[in-house]
Amino acid sequence: MKPQPNPERLKLRNVVLFDDADLVASPAAQNEIAISKIVLPSQQPRRYFDSDKMASLVDSVRQHGILEPVLLRSLDNNTYELVAGERRYRAAKEVGLEQIPAIVRQITQDEAWQISLIENLQREDINPVEETEAILQLLSLKINLPIDEVTAQLYRMRHIARGEVGQNVLTSSEYESAIGSVFGSLGFKLESFITSRLPLLKLPSDVLEFLRQGRIEYTKAQAIAKVKDQISRQELLSESIEHGLSLVQIRDRIAALPQSPKQSENSLKSQVDTTFRSLKKSSIWKDPKKKKRLEKLMQQIESLISSV
């Protein structure tokens, strides 16, 4: 189990990822800030909160108060924007606290977003979709490109690494260095990120939503996403979550689903291709009896083709 995020770990990650290490590293005094003066940012890396864990935090805050300060940035009109610590902020509001311990920093909106992404990535319960989206957002900030262009850049780097294209026409050493620095700091490799993480964002929207909420494991989500019929997919998705189906059980249910005529046709074509490939490699050609039977089968197949 991952350790809980701590200020030192957050500091080290910012030193590696961003030029301005003072964003988190510099000391700051703790203040008591009125909750009424705190506003949430327009964009937040975390969208869902586990209800059971949130209830547990609320109980803890009710008994012990807020033990770790939230991080804020100053805004105009004597207000503050929340940078890190949204769960604590929400729990404090639910309990009815009027003030909350906080550290206030003079930072820009982009700097605050960087810190929020870093804190989100250090969560113990972060799911693969949130993690993937946060990493892409970090890369977007790091190399100053839109996320779709960041993704394209990652694929270019993989093509170059595989020797499939020339480096001089597709990418720059500056981008490669920055991306390599981020992946190295987060413990990711380019190839595995492209192979196992980016495809998650292309899952059907219904599957992706449950995966983003952390309600289903990504291996199960990938299996269910292969069901093309939307109604069948949603039924299997609901059953998997409600009854906690294993991956094996999910695959068994997928195999038992009725195939559409198009799927059945594709399956038969695939079976024919596989059989003929195996036939060419087999030792049947050395056995005169089996070869004779094969000739009869081929005549039957040719007869079927000619009768169409």
Read off the pLDDT band of 8 (50, 70, 90).
very low
Neighbouring residues of 165: CB distance < 8 A, sequence distance ≥ 6: 156, 159
The tens digit of pLDDT for each residue in 146-176 reads 999 999 889 888 888 877 765 554 556 778 8
pLDDT of residue 249: 93
- The CATH number of the structural domain formed by 7-121 is 3.90.1530.30
pLDDT of residue 41: 86
Task: Give the torsion through C-alpha atoms of 212, 44, 125, 243, to 10 deg.
Answer: -30
For residues 159 and 165, the answer to whether their CB atoms sit within 8 Å is yes
Question: Is the confidence at residue 245, as pLDDT, over 70?
Answer: yes
| Mean per-residue pLDDT of the chain | 80
How far apart CA 246 and CA 224 sit, in angstroms, is 12
Read off the pLDDT band of 1 (50, 70, 90).
very low
Q: Is 7 helix (H, G, I), strand (E, B) or coil?
A: helix
How far apart CA 286 and CA 86 sit, in angstroms, is 73
Q: pLDDT higher for 198 or 20?
A: 198
pLDDT of residue 266: 59
Mean pLDDT of 217-244: 90
Please state the domain extents for the chain.
7-121, 128-200, 218-256, 261-306
**In the structure encoding, which two tokens stand for residue 251, read together?**
């695959």
Mean pLDDT of 104-119: 87
HSE-CB for 292 with a 13 A CA cutoff: 2
